[in-house]
Amino acid sequence: MNESTLDKLRKMKFFGMFHAFKSSLETGKTNDHTADELLGMLVDAEWDDRQNRKIERTIQGAKFRYKASIEDVNYHASRSIDRNQVMRLAECNFIDRFENVLITGSTGIGKSYMASAIGYQACILGYRVFYASTGKLFAKLKMAKADGSYIKELARLERQQLLILDDFGIQPFDAQSRAALMELIEDRHGKTSLIITSQLPVSKWFEVIGEKTIADAILDRIVHDAHRIELRGDSMRKKRSTEPENVYA
């Protein structure tokens, strides 16, 4: 009868219950529980399994550049990171308030890792997240304009509660990318959140975006009341090349 029950649980895709019941049978612990305790244990196992699989799907869908963790962020004094600020951001209340996070600093300093770490935490807490290289994203939006899928792509991005734009401003925006950026920011403003990383200080973004009127409108929506993290110090990539054991951002 137990084999039949296990087979039915597996076929119904109750994998949490399946593994918990199978383990209980193998260890002989089913006799240690009353009927309601055993049922409660099985339901808890199924709930946890489904939640974990949901988080895994969310993380896979986010397409992060790095597998990152808040716990692994390097808070060395030379980097000028406010640990309390990062930990508050990791609670992700800024997403509920539709606020943005701007992370700036020189190349290799750990901007992308920190953005990914906050993004991972958001996934764990159940938020919809998408990570993209800014250059690649706007190249894709140009292609979407050509093949008629532009509106669909914008709608997909708008559904993400947190959008991470990495390497913002490496190249100046041309007219088409600038217009797409304006649409993207306008669609998301006051409804969702952004994390933007850039080698350039925020004061230089105006020049990179170009077209005064559009740049003013975009920056007003991005920068106003945004949380800012300015990373300092030496390149973490250079440190890792000389200290192989250092894997932290």
Query: What SS3 state is found at 223?
Result: helix
pLDDT in tens, 121-150: 999 999 999 999 999 999 999 999 999 999
Half-sphere exposure at residue 135, Cβ-oriented, CA atoms within 13 angstroms = 7
Region 105-127 average pLDDT: 94
Q: Which residue has the tokens 């973004």?
A: 205
Region 177-199 average pLDDT: 95
Q: How many CB atoms lie within 10 A of CB 10?
A: 14
Domain of residue 209: give its range: 63-242
Tokens read off for 82? 């406010």
Per DSSP, 13 falls in state: T
Query: What SS3 state is found at 139?
Result: helix
Asked if residue 210 and residue 120 are part of one domain, the reply reads yes
pLDDT score of 236: 62
**15 class by beta-carbon count within 10 Å (0-12 exposed, 13-18 middle, 19+ buried):** middle
Main-chain dihedrals φ then ψ at residue 148, nearest 5 degrees = 85, 10
**128 class by beta-carbon count within 10 Å (0-12 exposed, 13-18 middle, 19+ buried):** middle
- The total number of structural domains that make up the chain: 2
pLDDT score of 246: 43
% of the chain at pLDDT higher than 90:
58
Confidence of residue 8 (pLDDT cuts 50, 70, 90): confident
Rounded to whole angstroms, the Cα distance separating 157 from 144 reads 13
Asked if residue 133 and residue 33 are part of one domain, the reply reads no
Main-chain dihedrals φ then ψ at residue 197, nearest 5 degrees = -110, 145
- Mean of all residue pLDDT scores within the chain: 88
The CATH code of the domain that includes 213 is: 3.40.50.300
pLDDT score of 248: 43
Q: Judge whether residue 231 has pLDDT over 90.
A: yes
Asked if residue 86 and residue 12 are part of one domain, the reply reads no
Please indicate, yes or no, whether the overall pTM of this predicted structure exceeds 0.85. Answer: no
Asked if residue 238 and residue 116 are part of one domain, the reply reads yes
pLDDT score of 176: 94
Of the three residues 25, 59, 93, the one that is the final residue of a domain is: 59
Asked if residue 232 and residue 127 are part of one domain, the reply reads yes
pLDDT in tens, 53-100: 888 888 988 999 888 999 998 888 778 889 999 999 999 999 999 999
* 237 belongs to a structural domain: yes
Confidence of residue 239 (pLDDT cuts 50, 70, 90): low
